[in-house]
A and B are shown apart, each in its own frame.
Chain A
Amino acid sequence: MTTAQGSIPKEKLTWMYETMVLIRRFEEQAKREADQGRILGTHSAIGEEAVPTGICAHLGDGDYVLGNHRSHHHCIAKGVGVNEMMAELLGKATGTNGGKGGTMHIADATKGMLGANGVVGSNIPVATGCALAAKVQGRDNVSVVFFGDGASSQGSLHESMNLASIWDLPVLFVCENNRYAESTPFEYSVAGGSVANRAAGYAMPGVTVDGQDVMEMYEVAGEAVARARRGEGPTLIEAQTYRYFGHYGADNPLGYRTEEEEAYYKSRDCILTMGKFLLESGTMNQDQLDSIDADAIAKVEAASKFAMESPYPDPSEILTDVYVKYP
């Protein structure tokens, strides 16, 4: 933690801590639901909470976030309701998507969350388009797209970075480098060993940041968002982070990484570290931290209850919303 964090307003610090804790508790609950067979295993974001939190702290409902298959934390950081999210995971009619999309496709247009997407790299051009709309309509909104280290090998990223750069589009290309694409390690897949360095080829800044440090994320994101809002174009951010669990529910990651490595990243846990900072800086006391956690747990339990008690969609819904109007 650098001393620059002293300049982050307390409300932001509080919001960021609360958000990370909420994400953590939600993901733990989702995992429990999966273990109990109520939902198919999800792609858990536990460990990566700081990345979207530090970024969404600078965003409003008119700004866009687009995610990937591992997107629950993106959604929560962007303000999507946990009740509706849990209901969507359970496939209920009250879910964010009416049960039609599920864990990999959560969307809430009222919050600017224009969707999680299950095809790696597929949302990157889409996010670029949202930025284009903002620019053409003269709005100072920005578009943030999250993708993984695996996606950095997709053509869609390169096409989009190039396009955003030549057109000065307000995009943040955020690579959540959690070091593995399913079971394929980063050092095997990524020529040159750095995603951020690829930015230079597309004439935009490329920043490498400790994705487990929410305050560093906040600083880096702040600069990128400000640049974009000023019309100065896109930024590529490589946030180095770690997922504590496997690629998805049934994947045992010890089949491709060591316990020592896991222990190392867990020792740098974004919530623990932030909590420590808040205590040591006198921003909060232990009671307050505990209260935030209790609050998060209560919210998540309420979400589960809400989801459980909600009805399933009527079978006729299978045919709705294929089109806006047909014929």
Chain B
Amino acid sequence: MTTTEVRALTYAQAVNETFHQEFERDPNVILMGEDVAGGAGRDDFEDAWGGVFKLTRGLIGKFGPERVRDTPISENGFIGAAVGSAAAGLRPIADLMFVGFVGVCGDQIFNNMAKMHYMFGGKVKLPLTVITSTGAGVGSAAQHSETLYSIFVHFPGLKCVAPSNPYNAKGLHAAAIRDDDPVIVFNHKLLMGGVGTGPHVPQESYEVEIGKAHIAREGTDVTLIGISYTTHLCLQAAEMLAQQGYSAEVVDLLSLSPLDEETILESVKKTRKVVIVDEDYPRCSMASELSAVIAEQAFDYLDAPPRRVNPPHTSVPYSPVLEALFIPTPERIVEEALATME
């Protein structure tokens, strides 16, 4: 495919496109959240925001305020309402603006969303999607820069996906909306804008299968596992390693729960070394989980132990000098990769 054929959208545009398509396809799809449109109740200021990251722009104009609902600042209220409306026949999308806000609606997510299907003997379905934004790097400090995948992955009953580019962002959001289980979609704030050279985002509606990882770069010497933004860091690290003569394979996890153990283990059995890059806090993280799964299932293939690249065990500091030390970097990944290979 030549560059002129690449339909390069930004991540936000790709997600927006899939929302429009899903709203069109299924009248039961609705959206709730703070400023998902904006200017609520004021006709001349309708759609003032379209979401903090513009993911939901234009929806209220096309589909109206019955289906696109700005909410008061009541996470417990509207996330719970998403649970209830899903139980009663809708397919709601609820926007939990920053993942660090999970604290104010944790009960609805961990006690109701995750458990109702199970507790009620499978008799009630909750086909809802929660979208939320993650990540540090913009100086938003401790409460607005978290990642927290492992908290959600821990709870049986929730599915969790983390897109990494506009192509899989569009496909995973579609898959999430169509899934009959509750799905949490983690959108990294550093991925929203920027177009560059693509990937190509097809115009038509499509799904990216939940539960499947993606090999973003093939290689033979070491496996680098990335999640969302850190997949890009892994790809940069792979380039740097290539210049030093090493061939790194980059696995883009995409789906955190369910986990694509097959793809991960296949890669590790091939390269025999693995570095896991996770922007979440280190203790009881996805990185720990991946390390444990890999050790359990591929121990005899490993030349060296899995290495984890996480931030330090601290909250996210504000000062840019300190924040830069918090987030994993390609240099750190290279360092860990070299350590496993020597």
Contacts and interface: CB of A to CB of B under 8 A. Distances in A.
Interface string B242-261: 00000000000001001010
Interface in B304-327: none
A326 B159 contact: yes
Contacts of B211: 326-327
B85 interface: yes
Nearest to A124: B80
B235 to A, nearest CB: 25
Nearest to B87: A114
Interface string A149-179: 0000001100110110011000000000000
A159 B76 contact: yes
A77 B212 CA distance: 46
A320 interface: yes
Contacts of B71: 163
Contact of A129 (B28, B84, B255): B84
B81 A327 contact: no
Interface in B38-84: 66-67, 69, 71-72, 74, 76-84
A105 B122 CA distance: 13
Contacts of A26: none
A191 interface: no
Interface size grouping (class) on chain B: 35 or more
Interface in B1-42: 28, 30
A108 B157 CA distance: 19
A124 B76 CA distance: 10
Contact of B87 (A130, A155, A156, A326): A130
Contacts of A105: 119-120
Contact of A128 (B72, B84, B118, B181): B84
Contacts of B159: 323, 326
A64 interface: yes
B210 interface: yes
Interface string B99-113: 000000001100110
Contact of A136 (B66, B77, B180): B66
A109 B84 CA distance: 12
Contacts of A114: 84, 87-88, 124
A132 B94 CA distance: 13
Contact of B84 (A125, A320, A324, A327): A125
Nearest to A156: B76
Given A128-B77, A321-B117, A137 B84 contact: no
Given A108-B123, A136-B66, A162-B74, A126 B117 contact: no
Nearest to B210: A327
Interface string A120-149: 001111111111111111000001000000
Interface stretch (A33-41, A92-100, A219-227): A92-100
Nearest to A88: B121
Given A128-B80, A155-B76, A134 B88 contact: yes
Instruction: With a 10 A CB-CB cut-off, give which of A126, A163, A321 has the most chain B CB atoms.
Output: A126
A101 B123 CA distance: 11
Contact of A126 (B28, B72, B81): B81
A107 interface: yes
B96 interface: no
B302 interface: no
B181 A326 contact: yes
B253 to A, nearest CB: 13
B86 interface: yes
B116 interface: yes
B194 interface: no
Interface string A289-326: 00000000000000000000000000000001111111
A163 B89 contact: no
Contact of B30 (A64, A108, A136, A323): A136
Given A137-B28, A321-B118, A125 B81 contact: yes
A130 B88 contact: yes
Contacts of A325: 179-181
Interface string B108-140: 100110001111111111000000000000000
B228 to A, nearest CB: 19
A93 to B, nearest CB: 9
A304 to B, nearest CB: 20
B123 to A, nearest CB: 5
Contact of B121 (A101, A166, A167): A101
5 contacts: A126-B87, A132-B90, A137-B89, A156-B77, A163-B72
Question: Lowest 4 CB-CB distances: which A-B pairs, in order?
Answer: A125-B80, A129-B84, A327-B211, A159-B77
Given A128-B81, A324-B125, 17 more contacts: A100-B120, A107-B119, A109-B120, A115-B124, A125-B77, A125-B83, A126-B84, A126-B87, A129-B82, A132-B90, A133-B86, A136-B66, A143-B88, A321-B117, A321-B121, A326-B181, A326-B211
